[in-house]
A and B are shown apart, each in its own frame.
Chain A
Amino acid sequence: MSKQKAKNVSFYRKRFFPWLLISPTILILFTIGIYPLIYILRLSVFNLFLSKPWVPLEFIGINNFKEILEDAQFFNSIRVTVMFTGLAVIIEFWLGLGLAMMARRVKGGTVFRTFLIIPMVTTPVIVGLAWRFMLFPRLGVVAWYIQRLGQMFGIEIPLLLANPDIALFTVIAVDIWEWTPFMFLILFAGLTSLHKEPFEAARVDGASGWRIFRTITLPLLKPVILICLLIRTVDAFNTFDQIYVLTGGGPGNATDTLSMYLYRTSFVFFSTSKGAALALLMLLVMLIFSNFFIKLLGKKVSV
């Protein structure tokens, strides 16, 4: 190859090849990401109701949105979702952090990790089913022993999944069981990646263990913490599978999260456009939230 030709080729190579390689990816993601979004946008301002296919399609603007915002169930779902997401993520975080710090001090961390992966990789539907079974009134193994335990202390333990006041917490507990390992893994990796020297300097400078944790460990872990909080919050917000199987939104509407509400609207009542509007609302909330989080990350755009 002559020098000139080689130069040309490498010039093009630098310009085009990267895009060539990544074009299938971009194409697919566009189809999967952007197109549904546009579709839903469109849907939400029309009045498509698969339940009433005879109604002619017309543009109704923000009617769907208004309907949703006037629906008491919607606000209940918000309450449930916020409680679920908030409690689950926060507890998972602190548990995960605690476990990670403990696991750092002992040998045999790999064995521990092996067990902890199990809840994470199990099919969420199965998680829901397994716990539903174990918590089944009188029949389930966990329910049984908790009953016995209550009897020993003379307390009547309510039915964990059937009792409207407790059901949400039970569902949260199941989520904690499933996802704390996620927090653990990320935080453990983060902790391990910290250099040990600043910590030694702090010891020599006179700081106690708790102070070191507060002033050095946590700040240095900030980027990692923010990322896993972000991911987990978004996922918790959108959780569907487990709840559907565990309680189906009930009893009553005690565990009726936004996802469940959305499912019902779109696939049970077939109020398609309304469902689309709701989906947009949920997406909006998530966008605002994650934007806020990314800003918190500051200059460390680690995506």
Chain B
Amino acid sequence: MAEVVLKNLSKKFGKVEAVKNIDLTVKDKELLCLLGPSGCGKTTVLRMIAGLELPNSGTVYIGGREVTYLEPKDRDVAMVFQEYALYPHLTVFENIAYPLRVRRLSNTQIKDKIERVAELLDIKEILSRLPSQLSGGQKQRVSLGRAIVREPQIFLMDEPLSSLDAQMRAVMRSELKRLFKKLQGTVIFVTHDQLEAMSMSDRMVVMSAGKIQQKGTPMDIFERPRNSFVAGFIGDPAINFFDCEFDRKLGKLIVNEVLVFPLSKSLNHFLCMRDSNLNKLRMGIRPNFIQVSATKPSSWSFQAEVYICEPQGTEEIINLQFKQSLFKARVNVGMKMTMGQKIWVSFDEKHLYLFDQETGQTLT
């Protein structure tokens, strides 16, 4: 197993800059996730690590060795593709055996290794089937088998769960994490599903438009997003944003010119110290930190109209409307609510994120 280091990696496709100056270190035995929306460049980065794309500038190191321009076969990486990329004309056994045959292992060796992998992934019964006869989950396991059997330095996975149905996804999330922990492998995987990223990775890298937005552990990123993009991308339901104006004299945030949120002295002071020109801000509050009640609470609050409710079993997601803004609150099932009903909404300053409206940078 080994480290992966990317230095100043960039890639252009024609005029489009897909990847811009990526610096990244993946530690040995780490499960790292590249997370981001479609088109942000995460798959391109993965393919550059694999050697399927060559960068325009920058370097790639695997296991301390510089591999930037090496063919994939010389890099000792294994990859699991989004659509599994199984060889359609070969049986499951032959699919997994393929990399071993390339390395000219003897038949007994091959049989040995495949048996072990089949045991690990529970695919013994399907060894003689063709890919066209497999279900999605089975195909994925075969694809994994083909990667594992090589005992490579690095595992790369391109959207490993996106081709599965929702139920399988939930199951495989935990299974995959367990598997890789057991194998003690260095794994880099790419996804656009933040839930996958949060639950499966040791560390996450959030990307957007070819650049790294933030690196860190899932909890890190969730609790301390560096900018509003990251804050908005992580978390389900997504964080609620309110654009507001900062009135430094009064020490208040004014939303939609009617709602006034009082800032504590320390916060107010902090903001003034940050930048004397600070004016337009964006408030961010996560749905589970919004409190609702039928009667006016003693702390600061305001009234909003119930737009629609989404029951989720033990919890409920209430869509609320205030003036033109729509936002969501997640609460335990309790209050009976109807569409159009007016209820009191409040939240606490300590759960509040503040972002600069223009740059998106987190201020708190």
Q: Is B232 an interface residue (CB 8 A)?
A: no
Q: From DSSP, what is the main secondary structure of chain A's interface residues?
A: helix
Mind listing 25 A-B residue pairs with CB under 8 Å? A197-B81, A197-B83, A197-B85, A198-B85, A198-B87, A200-B81, A201-B85, A201-B146, A202-B87, A203-B52, A204-B51, A204-B52, A204-B72, A204-B73, A204-B78, A205-B98, A205-B99, A205-B102, A206-B72, A206-B99, A206-B102, A216-B87, A220-B88, A220-B89, A222-B89
Query: B86 to A198, Cβ gap below 8 A?
Result: yes
Distance to closest chain A CB from B77 (angstroms): 7
Contact code string B208-231 (vs A, CB < 8 Å = 1, else 0): 000000000000000000000000
Q: From DSSP, what is the main secondary structure of chain B's interface residues?
A: loop
Whether A206 touches B83, Cβ cut-off 8 Å, given contacts A219-B89, A220-B88, is no
Q: How far is the CA of A201 from the CA of B84 in the complex (A)?
A: 9
Q: Is B79 an interface residue (CB 8 A)?
A: yes
Distance to closest chain B CB from A253 (angstroms): 45
Query: B103 to A206, Cβ gap below 8 A?
Result: yes
Which residues on the B side are within 8 Å of A202 (C-beta)?
A: 87, 98
Using A197-B83, A204-B78, A220-B89 as known contacts, list a sample of 5 further A-B pairs with CB atoms less than 8 Å apart, ordered by residue number in A.
A203-B73, A204-B77, A205-B99, A205-B102, A206-B102
Interface size class of A (residues with CB under 8 A): 10 to 19
Number of interface residues of B (CB under 8 A): 22
Most buried by B among A201, A202, A207, A216: A201
Interface residues of A in 180-204 (CB under 8 A from B): 197-198, 200-204
**Interface Cβ pair total, 8 Å cutoff:** 56
Q: How far is the CA of A216 from the CA of B89 in the complex (A)?
A: 8
Contact code string B40-80 (vs A, CB < 8 Å = 1, else 0): 00000000001110000000000000000001110001110
Return the chain A residue nearest B50 by Cβ.
A204
Which residues on the B side are within 8 Å of A211 (C-beta)?
A: 102
A residues engaging B (CB < 8 A)? 197-198, 200-208, 211, 215-216, 219-220, 222
Query: A208 to B81, Cβ gap below 8 A?
Result: no
Closest 8 CB pairs of A and B: A197-B85, A206-B73, A205-B99, A201-B85, A204-B72, A206-B102, A219-B89, A204-B79
Which residues on the A side are within 8 Å of B72 (C-beta)?
A: 203-204, 206
Q: How far is the CA of A203 from the CA of B77 in the complex (A)?
A: 11
Whether A205 touches B73, Cβ cut-off 8 Å, given contacts A219-B89, A220-B89, is yes
